[in-house]
Amino acid sequence: MKLLSGAVQFAVAQREWSRRRFWSWLNAVFNKVDYERIKAVGPDRAAAEWLLRCGAKVRFQGFERWHHDYNGLPTGPLGRYKIQAIDATESCIMYRGFDHLDGLKYLEEIKFNKCIYIEDTCLERLSSTENLQESLYMMEVVSCGNVTDKGVIALHRLRNLEYLFLRDLPGISDKHATVDRLQTALPRLEIEMDLD
């Protein structure tokens, strides 16, 4: 009976591993950057398509409504719609797709909540994007288990960042030192974080 139980457990584990591997592969496909598409439709439209394909939401400049339906993206002149905010809650965006952010000049807010693929390299890439260093002023990073002190400290390059909300980040080992380093680099930055 124990042998059967072990065999069943092995089969279940193997099926789960195969399923995870498939979803990881599919998410990587969703995050692939199509540079020809960016040239054809512009950076904001291409980024919106990427984000919605991965389960995130976008809000365009001058609009209150969040767009979450890929097929419901607004039509019209390609340069008219500029991404102002991104809510990537529970989305599958990953480092591989972050080249989509390069051309965004009006992005002011971004939320990474429960994003299993967000890691230090994502935050480093985000903060090294020249346009975002100027435009981004509000950011949330919540329940992203792969983010460590290194990734959060990299945000110091976002020189216009005014508000940073950090919560449930088990990879941060020295919260006080991380906050101090950010505050030193960005004195105007308000950081909300559980320091206990």
Backbone angles phi, psi at 105, to 5 degrees: -105, -10
pLDDT digits (tens, 9 = 90+) for 61-117: 999 999 999 899 988 887 899 999 999 999 999 999 999 999 999 999 999 999 999
Q: Which domains does the chain have, with CATH numbers?
A: 31-193 (3.80.10.10)
Q: Which three-class secondary structure state does DSSP give residue 146?
A: strand
pLDDT digits (tens, 9 = 90+) for 125-171: 999 999 999 999 999 999 999 999 999 999 999 999 999 999 999 99
- Look at the block and give the residue holding tokens 């905010």: 85
**H/E segment holding residue 7:** helix 2-30
**Angle at alpha carbon of residue 108, lines to 166 and 71, rounded to 5°:** 100
Give the span between the Cα atoms of 44 and 67, in whole angstroms.
13
pTM for the complete prediction? 0.86
Q: What is the pLDDT of residue 1?
A: 45
